Amino acid sequence: MIQNLLKNFILLFFIFSLAEPVLSNNNPVLAKYSKEIKEIKSILINKYNVDHKYASEVLNSIKFRQKTLDSMSNAVERKATWERYRSIFITKSRVNAGIKYHKKNHKILKEIENKYGIPSEVIVAFLGVETNYGKGTGKVKVLDSLGTLALKHPRRSKFFKAQLIYFILLTYDNNLNYQNLYGSYAGAMGAPQFMPESYIKLGVDYNKDGKVDLWNDKYDIYASIANYLIRKGWQKSRNIYSNIKIKGSYEDEIFKNGDVKTVPITDSKLKKIIIKKELEAGKKYLILLSKKNKKYKLGYKNFKVIMSYNPSTFYAMVVSQLSERIAEENEIF
């Protein structure tokens, strides 16, 4: 009896080990997406030379998270007013913590600022908004969030499919344990919350220890943010935005199609509608924050560069304003 069982067991084991890993057998929840998974696997293997077995193993480990899909549709940028959004990010405690963080890490920050030309307070402001200065880097398994979004997001699955592929490649090339990497619900990683594509393409191994560590290494973290901004077109020693005053009769006009957006505007149009002010050179944008309270600013190229990090007008404005508060170094008590 026992011998028979053992025989059967060995036989079964033999059959399964011979068979090519079939996702639908191992993970029934994923079976519905076998076509997409096959396509992802083929890109990993053929385009990026990832080992066949490794690709199958990782993809087969994806666990769907409904919460990830829910969080995507409830992101604060999509619902809050400017006043509400600002009150979440520009708080006494976040400003004070930023000033302290800036002082504490001054030496490394200045080294990076001198090398890349990105103001240290801007780097710190990104960290403040993204992860409360590196404290909250996310608790969701990156594989599960990206797997869920790549296979199930109704509109952006193409983008997330690419991110999933880069994530698997990142773990493969750097010998990282994919079961052990945690990030935001949307798959952003480390203190600066880089998506896998940015991590691979723009991450910097500044301390030259052979890996880009965006969780623990401050040199790598600061240099990667700076490099990101430079590559997106940051203009050194230029402003991010400024305050302007638009003539009353034009205020309604600029808001006629709503608020929460950043729209290009020509110098000639600007000259017509603002109350006298010298104009800086370069491209300009009207930053429309609140139609109700008639809040707007004038943005420059660097504002758009910040928006490349997160394509939200509110996001870019809180990063800018937090950086100003940190630069002032006046703690609020």
- Candidates 62-70, 99-107, 199-207, 291-299: pick the segment binding Ca ion (CB under 5 A): 199-207
**Site pattern 213..232 for Ca ion (x: CB under 5 A):** ----x--x------------
Give 150 or 212: the residue with its C-beta nearer to Ca ion: 212
| Span interacting with Ca ion, options 23-31, 53-61, 129-137, 210-218, rule CB under 5 A | 210-218
Compute the least distance from the CB of residue 105 to Ca ion, in Å.
16
Stretch that binds Ca ion, among 49-57, 143-151, 204-212, 270-278 (CB under 5 A): 204-212
Q: Which stretch binds Ca ion (CB under 5 A): 31-39, 120-128, 198-206, 226-234?
A: 198-206
CB of residue 210 vs Ca ion: minimum separation in angstroms?
7
x/- string (CB under 5 A) for Ca ion, residues 145-164? --------------------
- Contact between 259 and Ca ion by CB under 5 A: the answer reads no
- Distance, CA of 206 to CA of 332 (rounded, Å): 34
Q: Does 176 bind Ca ion (CB under 5 A)?
A: no
The residue (of 211 and 295) whose beta carbon lies closer to Ca ion is 211
Q: Which range binds Ca ion by CB under 5 A, 62-70, 80-88, 207-215, 233-241?
A: 207-215
Q: Among residues 60, 71, 132, 207, which is the contact residue for Ca ion, using CB under 5 A?
A: 207
CB of 111 to Ca ion, least distance (A): 14
How near is the Cβ of 219 to Ca ion at its closest, in Å?
7
Q: Interface with Ca ion by CB under 5 A: which residues?
A: 205, 207, 209, 217, 220
